[in-house]
Structure 1
Amino acid sequence: MVISHFLRWIDTARVSERAAGAAALARAYVSRELPFEDRCEAEAALTFLLDDPSTKVRYALAEALAMHRLAPLQIIHALASDQDEIADLVLKRSPLFTDGDLIDRVAMGAESVQLSIAGRALVSKSVSAAIAEVGSAEACLILLRNDGADVASLSFRRMAERFGAMPRLREAMLADRRLPVDCRHVLLVKLSAALKDAPLVVALMGRARGERVMREACVRASLTLIDRTRPDEHAALVEHLRLAGELTTAFIVRMVAHGKIDFFASVLGVLAGREAVRVQALLAGGRDLALSALFRGAGLPESAHGVILRALGIWREVANGRRVAGAQEVSWLMLRELNACPGQSGPAERLAELAGLIRAIHLEVLRENARGHALAIAAA
């Protein structure tokens, strides 16, 4: 009887009154205060209100029902397809949507729908995967900033592939501690590509020099990335670098010169197909003959064996406390190994390119150390 009066009254009530009445009826419905028969009638009345011409009435309905598990399912789904401000309330808050419902709406809905779903308090891995695969850049950005979103490694990789060239997305991904290490490298490469093609860089440096500078910067960034990579992620980063074609002899020599010996062990383990523990033991105390055999198994050219063995010997002494040295001293002694230091007769012709690489490494380290010294003096 009360519901019948409500339905007759609603035809003549003002918008503000209808909105208040809709909210009151919805709250009464979800609070279980109504007897069963009245609840059935109330559900019919609430469904009827979906056709109200005023968005204020439908918004009031959505606001009252959005967070309740007892809300009528057909009303929640209808409100989720209403105007953006109404749909946003329901899509962000309602616990009645299954992952399947949300994935379908991400795949078929407008960007506003994707934004709402990406902003839910809890977003499962499967829903995050759907947003990463087909969602807009803005939806992916909201997902990355959502602490309640469970994002799988594969979803990070997909977003890096799709939107790594976009500064806001790239910054959001790099700031996320969950980002897999191989994705960080992908983003660094994309950043390098974007910079070398920038009109200002091309105008200032020329395309050829710009590409060389950015390539060198990318290599240095990869070395920094190694320092920030947990040991249990080394294998993944090695595999990524290998597949990307960046695990070159030059990169390995640079890595050893800078003392990234733990990562070097992971590289050798992957390339030579050897157990990591065995490789680490060889690097820590193996003889040169055994190490050279390991290097050959990993595909390293014979020409690089001598300088790598020299660097390993120095880093062993540093690790054992018998010497104090850094990349500057190690790269200098690697040059001496090649007979390429000032005052020496010069490297063999077949080693000239390797000597040029190590000389460039040594000069870079000298410059970095001088810069650090200057900054320390200025800060004193």
Structure 2
Amino acid sequence: MIVEHFLKWIETASASERAAAAAALARAFINGDLSTEDRLAADAALTFLLDDPSVKVRMALAEVLSMSRAAPAHVIGGLAADQPEVAELVLARSPLLTDGDLIDRVRIGESKAQCIIADRPVVSMSVSAAIAETGDASACVILLKNVGADIAELSFKRITERFGGVASVREALIADRRLPAECRHELLMRLGEALMDSPLIRAVFSGERAGRVLKDVWLKASVTLVDRTLTSEFPALVEHLRLHGDLTPRFLLRALAYGKVDFFCAALVALTGQNHERVCSLVTNGTDNALFALLRRAGLPDRTHIVIQAALEMWRDVARGKRVAGAQEASWLMLDKLGDDGSDLAAMLKAVHLEVMRENSRGHALAMRAA
């Protein structure tokens, strides 16, 4: 009877009065303060209020019902499909919305709704996949920054394919430790293409000079690329680099100068076809002749063999505690073995040595200033 009187009363009540009454009815429903008969009537009344012409009334319902598991599912569904300011509360908070409900809202293509769903405390892999496939760039950025989002490897790849050229998305992707290695490489390539098209780069450098500068920048970024890749993903990264023609002697020597021995082993496995255990055994404990045979099979130039052997020997000593050294010493040793012959390899090793010297000197100066 109370609900029946309520339905008659709202015909003449103002919007503010209806909103207050709707909130009170919704609270009574979710708190279980109604008899079975009144509860059924309240359910009907809440459904009726979904069609109230005032957004204040529907907003009042959303504010009360959006976080409750006791709310009527069909009312939650109606509010989720309402105009944005009403739907946002439900899309952001309701535990009753299924993955199917959320995916349907994502596919409708409304940016604000996509962003709200991407920012929910928990986002399932299937909802993340829907955002990766149909969400806009803003929604993808929010999804990538959401620690509660479960994102599949394929979804990372789709976001990279769709928005790798968008700076905000690219930044969020690179910052995510879960990003697959091949996606990181793809983003580096996209960034290089964007720089090549930059009016500033074109104005300062000729086409050939710009290409060389960007290639050097990519080589420097390669160490960060390896650093951010899990060891278990090295084979995938190596294969991706090989298919794109980037698994060059310069790249491998630079990685080795920085002590990326595990990555170097993964590269040799791909280049030689030998199994991982055998390659690692030869790299860590093999004789010089066995190592040189492995490097020849990998197709590395003969003049790099003694350079690689010297670097590996140094890193072995470091690992065994026999020596204290880092990239500065490794790059100098490698350059000494190669000889400063004016080649691209020599120039690269010299550049690595100078880079690391600057970094070490800067770190020493900062440490002294902080003391």
Q: What TM-score does the superposition give when structure 1 sets the normalisation length? A: 0.87
TM-aligned CA distance change 1:43 to 1:364, over 3 Å:
same
Check the 8 A contact 1:268/1:279 in 2, yes or no: yes
- Other-structure match for 2:354: 367
Q: Deviations over 1:208-229 (max 9, x none)?
A: 3222211111111112332343
2: CA distance, partners of 1:103 / 1:275: 44
Map 1:1-380 onto structure 2 (within 5 A).
1-302=1-302, 304-320=304-320, 326-327=326-327, 330-331=330-331, 334=334, 337=337, 340-341=339-340, 356-372=343-359, 374-376=361-363, 378-379=365-366, 380=368
* Structure 1 unaligned spans of 5+: 347-354
Quote the Cα distance in structure 1 between the aligned partners of 2:307 and 2:322: 20
CA distance, structure 2, for counterparts of residue 58 and residue 323 of structure 1: 72
Partner-residue secondary structure (3-state), 1:51: coil
State the alpha-carbon separation in 1 of the partners of residues 328 and 64 from structure 2: 68
**Mean Cα displacement is larger for which, 178-187 or 194-203?**
178-187
**Aligned partners of 1:219 and 1:162: how far apart in 2?**
25
Unaligned runs of 5+ in 2: none
- The CA distance in 1 between the partners of 2:155 and 2:135, in whole Å, is 11
Instruction: State the AA in 2 paired with 1:96.
Output: L
Q: In structure 1, how many angstroms separate the alpha carbons of the residues matched to 2:33 and 2:322?
A: 81
Q: Give the Cα–Cα distance (whole angstroms) in 2 for the partners of residues 11 and 46 of structure 1.
A: 15
Amino acid across the alignment from 1:31: N
- Would the alpha carbon gap of residues 59 and 150 (structure 1) be closer, same or farther in structure 2, given more than 3 Å must change? same
Which consecutive aligned stretches of 4+ in structure 1 deviate over 6 angstroms post-superposition?
none
CA-CA distance at 1:66 after TM superposition: 1.3
Q: Which amino acid aligns with 1:358?
A: L
Partner SS, residue 289 of structure 1: helix
Distance 1:113 1:140 in 2: 12
Give the partner amino acid of 2:165.
A
Question: For 2:278 and 2:139, how far apart are their aligned partners in 1?
Answer: 46
Q: Distance in 1 between matches of 2:19 and 2:89?
A: 16
Give the Cα separation in 2 of the matches to 1:61 and 1:106.
Answer: 23
After superposition, give the CA deviation of every residue in 1:170-216 in whole Å (9 maximum; x if it has no partner). Answer: 22222223333333333233222222321112212233322221111
Q: Residue type of the partner of 1:28? A: A
Question: For residues 240 and 103 of structure 2, what CA distance do their matches in structure 1 show?
Answer: 30
User: What is the CA distance between 1:138 and its match in structure 2?
Assistant: 0.8
Give the superposition deviation at 1:374: 4.8
Counterpart residue type for residue 139 of structure 2: A
In structure 1, distance between residues paired with 2:51 and 2:325: 78
AA of the residue aligned to 1:169: V
SS at match of 1:34: coil
Q: CA deviation at 1:326?
A: 5.0
CA–CA separation in structure 1 for the residues paired with 2:171 and 2:242: 25
Tell me if structure 2 keeps the 8 A contact 1:157–1:183. yes
SS in 1 for 2:280: helix
Residues of 2 paired with 1:26 and 1:297: CA distance?
Answer: 74
Return the alpha-carbon distance in structure 1 between the equivalents of residues 5 and 364 of structure 2: 84
- What is the match of residue 352 of structure 1? none
- Aligned partner letter, 1:63: E
Contact 1:132 1:159 in 2 (8 A): yes
Residues 1:178 and 1:277: Cα distance change in structure 2 (over 3 Å): same
Provide the rounded CA distance (Å) in 1 between the counterparts of 2:350 and 2:235: 30
Give the structure 2 partner of residue 351 of structure 1.
none
Is residue 119–residue 146 contact of structure 2 (8 Å, CA) maintained in 1? yes
- After superposition, the Cα gap between the structure-2 partners of 1:334 and 1:117, relative to the gap in structure 1 and judged at 3 Å, is closer
Alignment length (residue pairs)? 367
Give how far 1:5 is off: 0.7
The alpha carbon displacement at 1:370 in A equals 4.2
The 1:367/1:299 distance shift into structure 2, 3 A limit, reads closer
Deviation, 1:337, is 4.7
Measured against aligned partners, the alpha-carbon deviations of 1:315-372 in whole angstroms (never above 9, x if no partner) come to: 445545666655555555545555x44xxxx6xxxxxxxx602221232034224423
Q: Separation in 2 of the partners of 1:86 and 1:97?
A: 15
Report the AA paired with residue 90 of structure 1. Answer: V
| CA contact 2:144–2:176 (8 Å) conserved in 1 | yes
Q: Percent identity?
A: 55
Cα separation, partners in 2 of 1:18 and 1:323, compared to 1, 3 Å: closer
Q: In 2, are the aligned partners of 1:331 and 1:359 still within 8 Å (CA)?
A: no
Structure 2 length-normalised TM: 0.89
Q: 1:247 to 1:46 in 2, by over 3 A?
A: same
Question: Offset of 1:255 from its aligned partner?
Answer: 2.6
| Other structure's SS at 2:147 match | coil
